[in-house]
Structure 1
């Protein structure tokens, strides 16, 4: 299925598809650059109105597509895999409608990063559930303060989907645990919150610091629904993602994702990624 957004890209994208089995090209910012030798593509579905996005990562080091796809925030996993090595990557965001939704450049040793959108020529030759191919090119360097940047990036790569099996309509056991977490948070039930939050939340509810507990409850309530409707969910081993919607204490409608983890045989709240929804 052709998704080219610029006719001028057609010969370029089609001719380069066979030249780069996965990824190729470069991104340059001032004196730093990344050679895009490797490429992966993953799905990011935050449950927002703009639909699922495809993230194409091109870098000078190999990435684990399965781990990146499974991460609640793919960027966290990519940064972890980059580590402190000398090198870097470029992330291309593709919206559900096949338009670009931004480019992010990041590298280490020397350290540099940069965001851009709307510059150069972006086009897709293939945009299917299992594969994406295309390119993004900026031939004439653009100025950014006292530096210039340019790029010529190509990719033809399988898209790794979100892992996991669908949960029941109510979210199953992870959904029940999330609803219990919301109820405990609304009541300020500290004993329940200690049991229903994952191990990373333990510091929020110390036995000997009432002020810290009070502040933690206040912070956790901010932007959190009092109750939530669970639209769908996926479970992958001891991790589950729920897509939820509900109204918070300020009567603001919230929608997005929740991550639940199974620890010591029980599902516990780990984190969420919610945005306000216009009624």
Structure 2
């Protein structure tokens, strides 16, 4: 009897998931010159890049091919994850950015075979519709074609979709173990301590440069890191998802320029390792 109940419960969950997916609707088109995208699929993700979680944006992707919302939501660079899902065939997407106040913060069009891309903001009519918590619905239309360097473009995009948040849970105020590892990393960068950097580095690009047998490669890597890495970093907040963590940090680099943004770390062989950072210079 217990197994029958479990099977029934599992079937109910599956049905609920199918109903939720069926409720997601995205349609319309985007045209730039001779390249036209017909939107057949839609996902929406929370893009949490700001130090203040209340400033998180929503990205709505309307695409010609299916996309995995979780992969995009969990990626350090969401749109890079979206690009990877286009494949090698003729496919594309339109990404609509919506800020915390519900206004549009830009539209980006990307297409493969033929290759085309386009950025726009402030054109046409953008409007959100009432939607339950956890969903977003609306329309953005530019009915009369506009001109961009000799090519016309127009679009009419409609969406009603569940929002997929980044996975994971909040870290302690100091960033926990990932925060400790990042502070060790920044100290090693400031000191040029290659032994520590080689132990803590992750990711193919950074690891290859730091661990290179060519001294000039190592020096160039260290210079690049020192130019943008805080000498001492303060963790603003953090999120952990299994063996992956993101920290929001700020601190002044060796040129006394205040840097603020995100850092990605991954746990491997029981130790947290630096993967990449997206830090901008900001005013004090």
Match of 1:39 in 2: 42
Q: Which residue of 1 aligns with 2:13?
A: none
**How many Å apart are 1:57 and its aligned residue?**
0.3
Which residue number corresponds to residue 98 of structure 1?
102
The equivalent position to 1:152 in structure 2, one of 140, 152, 156, is: 156
Q: CA deviation at 1:199?
A: 4.0
2:224 is matched with: 219
Matches within 5 A, 1:42-81: 42-48=45-51, 51-81=55-85
Match of 2:92 among 88, 107, 116: 88
* Counterpart pick for 2:257 among 243, 252, 258: 252
Q: Gapped runs of 5+ residues in structure 2?
A: 1-22
CA distance in 2: counterparts of 1:208 and 1:147, whole angstroms? 49
Alignment check: 8 A CA contact 1:63 1:78 kept:
yes
Alpha-carbon contact 2:51-2:249 (below 8 Å) kept? no
Deviates more, 1:232-241 or 1:50-59: 50-59
Of residues 250, 257, 271, the one that matches 2:276 is 271
What is the TM-score normalised by the length of structure 1?
0.89
TM-score normalised by length of structure 2: 0.88
Alignment of 1:123 onto 2:110: no
Specify which structure has the bigger relative contact order, considering alpha-carbon pairs within 8 angstroms and separated by 6 or more residues.
1
The question of whether the paired residues in 2 share the 8 Å contact of 1:132 and 1:158 is answered with yes
RMSD: 1.5
Write the distance in 2 (CA, Å) between the matches of 1:191 and 1:127: 53
1:25-83 deviation digits (Å, cap 9, x = unpaired): 00011111111111111011112579211100001111100110000010111110102
**Other-structure match for 2:7:** none
Matched, 1:171 2:175: yes
Q: Which moved more, 1:38-47 or 1:125-134?
A: 125-134
Distance of aligned partners of 1:142 and 1:237 in 2 relative to their CA distance in 1, 3 Å threshold: same
Higher helix residue share: 2
In 1, Cα distance between the equivalents of 2:122 and 2:131?
Answer: 19
SS of the aligned residue for 2:55 comes to coil
Q: Does 1:23 align with 2:26?
A: yes
